[in-house]
Each structure stands twice: as structure tokens, then as C-alpha cells.
Copies of this chain bind each other. A is one copy, B any other.
Amino acid sequence: MLLPVRAGKVPAGSDTLFAAFEHVIDDWVERCPGDSFQYYHVGSAAVPEMEEWERFCSDANRGLLAGAINLMTVPPLEVQRRLADFPYVVISLKREDMQHNSPDIEFDMAEMFRKQLELLISKGCRNIAVLLNDNMSIAKNLAILNIAEQCPVNCPRRWIQGMNLTHTRTLFYDNLLELMFSRDQEHVPDGLVVQNENFLPAVLNALGRLGIIPGEQVKIVSHGNLPVVRPQTAGVDYTYFRIDRVLAEAIGLLKRWKAGLLHDRRIDLLIPPSNDVTYR
């Protein structure tokens, strides 16, 4: 019996990671009918739903749960204290900002970026612009800037810009892309990395307004999760993370914890990107 805690901040369908995770859990249950999963919609780290955390703690303390998977959230410190030796893992984008004394599974965004650059270069791009999630950790951002700096084509810092889902309005997406793709420059980007696929609709809309055709004047590569749960965008290439592997690693870590094999709980596990699109 294994039961994940899931952040409930993002409404179903609005972020592909949550939908893909639900999908691989359904697959897991089909293969291992003895295992069951319980969802807790605990909100985000910034805005926790305390009543739901309370329900989770109560279930954990009554022995109803074998362990917990925290998807893009971290138990509030008060909950962490109450969990004591209860096994849990965190699937996050930035351990450095999210304090917890448990295994942490992160996506290797730097390696993904390297692959995305390689893909664009192999398609002939020589002037590459990048739109990153601006709330990623500083460490990841610095690693990405470093890869950009060392790449054999033109990928200057002024073409590496931050966007975010929570604050930035479409207004500013438009203006930012108009500035990045201004023809009033010696070079104009012919390749674009859109790190978060959730930005794609706004980015494609802005490019359309500027008369720039994705896949023609500019090659675009973005990030996706496997299994693919949302129709993919024409004119865009994707680099994927396999979410079934994330679930398998999380469950493996919980089992090792329960078996007393996790001497140091502060394990950092990096999930590499995969372009194995034959999955499913």
C-alpha cells in the first residue's frame, strides 16, 4: 500500500506534469493491483491547504499510509515535525528553496537544456533564444547560462529571459517576444527554447502576431512529459521526462526507507531527460 500526496494548487489539466503523474499511477495500479494510492490536495508550498495536511497527518499517524510522494510541494515544517519517521519523498524543481529532510527527486533541467540546444543546432539554428521559468533555482539557472555560454552558436545572455505562469500577464509575454525577435538587430533568433510547455500557447500567439512562423523562421523546442496527455503543438519539437521513471524511483526510495536502508535521507536524485518517444 503506497499513497502519494499531491499538490492541489494546479487545476487538473492545466499542467501536464500532474496529469502525466495521475496517468502513470493508473498504470502502476493496473500492473500491481495490491498497491493503492490516495490523493491529498494539499495546495502549494506557498499556499498550503492546512485542513488537507491535517487529514493526511491523521491518516499517516493511524497507519493507513505506507509512505507519501509530494509532487511539486513540500510538507510545511510543522507537518514535517509531526511526520517524524514516516517515509516520504519530494518531487521538486528546487530543493535549495524547499527545506526538507527526505529524498528529493529533481528533473535535470540543465541536461534537458543541453539536449534542446543540440537539437536546434542539428536543425541548422545559429542564433538561439531561450525562455526559462523564472522561479527555478539559481543553481539550475547558472548551470543553464553556463551551457549557453559554451555552446558553439550564438546564444547571448540578452536572449535568455525569464517568464512565469503565476505573475506575468500575456501583455508582457508579447512585449518580451517582440523585443527578442525585433528585426532591428544584427541577428534575429532562428531557434527558441521554451523551457515550460505551459508557455507555448502564449509564445506561439505572440510569434504569430509578429508574423514569425514556428518551424519555419524559427525552430522551437520545448519540454514535455511522457506519457503525452495533451495534444502537442505543430511546429514544435519536444524533449521529454519519463514520468513512469519518476514514480518508480519515488516508490523505490520509499521502500528503501521502510526497509531501513536509507541511512542518509538527504538523497538528491536527478531524473535525466529522455527522448524515447516510443513509450506507450
Q: A46-B47, A158-B182 are in contact. Are A167 and B169 (CB under 8 A)?
A: no
**Is A22 engaged at the interface, CB distance under 8 Å to the other chain?**
no
**In A89-147, which residues have CB < 8 Å from any B CB?**
132, 134-135, 138, 141-142, 145
Comparing A78-86, A170-178, A192-200, A246-254, the segment that makes contact with chain B is A170-178
Q: Are B47 and A169 in contact (CB under 8 A)?
A: no
- Bitwise interface map of A from 146 to 178 toward B, beta carbon under 8 Å scored 1, else 0: 000000000001111110101111011011101
Enumerate chain B residues within 8 angstroms of A134, measured Cβ to Cβ: 167-169, 172
Specify which of A134, A169, A171, A172 lies most central, judged by the most chain B CB atoms within 10 Å of its CB: A171
Instruction: Count residues of chain A with CB under 8 A from any CB of chain B.
Output: 32
**Is A186 engaged at the interface, CB distance under 8 Å to the other chain?**
yes
Which of B157, B161, B174 sits near A157, CB closer than 8 Å? B174
**Is A185 engaged at the interface, CB distance under 8 Å to the other chain?**
yes
Which of B135, B145, B176 sits near A167, CB closer than 8 Å? B135
**Is A216 engaged at the interface, CB distance under 8 Å to the other chain?**
no
Q: A157-B178, A185-B182, A185-B184 are in contact. Are A141 and B169 (CB under 8 A)?
A: yes
**In A179-212, which residues have CB < 8 Å from any B CB?**
179-180, 182, 184-186
Q: How far is the CA of A261 from the CA of B132 in the complex (A)?
A: 52
Smallest distance from the beta carbon of A179 to chain B beta carbons, Å? 4
Q: Are B167 and A179 in contact (CB under 8 A)?
A: no
Enumerate chain B residues within 8 angstroms of A160, measured Cβ to Cβ: 175
Q: Are B175 and A161 in contact (CB under 8 A)?
A: yes
Q: Are A178 and B158 in contact (CB under 8 A)?
A: yes
Q: How far is the CA of A92 from the CA of B29 in the complex (A)?
A: 49
Enumerate chain B residues within 8 angstroms of A166, measured Cβ to Cβ: 167
Q: Are A159 and B179 in contact (CB under 8 A)?
A: yes
- Name which residue of chain B comes closest to A135, CB basis: B167
Q: How far is the CA of A159 from the CA of B176 in the complex (A)?
A: 8
Q: Are B158 and A162 in contact (CB under 8 A)?
A: no
Enumerate chain B residues within 8 angstroms of A142, measured Cβ to Cβ: 171
Q: Are A138 and B175 in contact (CB under 8 A)?
A: no
Q: How far is the CA of A28 from the CA of B159 in the complex (A)?
A: 50
Enumerate chain B residues within 8 angstroms of A178, measured Cβ to Cβ: 157-158
Enumerate chain B residues within 8 angstroms of A175, measured Cβ to Cβ: 157-162
- Name which residue of chain B comes closest to A179, CB basis: B158
Beyond contacts A162-B167, A166-B167: 12 other A-B pairs, Cβ-Cβ < 8 A, are A47-B47, A134-B167, A135-B167, A157-B175, A157-B178, A158-B175, A158-B179, A159-B175, A162-B176, A164-B167, A167-B167, A179-B179
Rank and list the top 7 A-B pairs by shortest CB-CB distance, nearest first. A162-B172, A158-B179, A158-B178, A135-B167, A134-B168, A164-B167, A157-B175
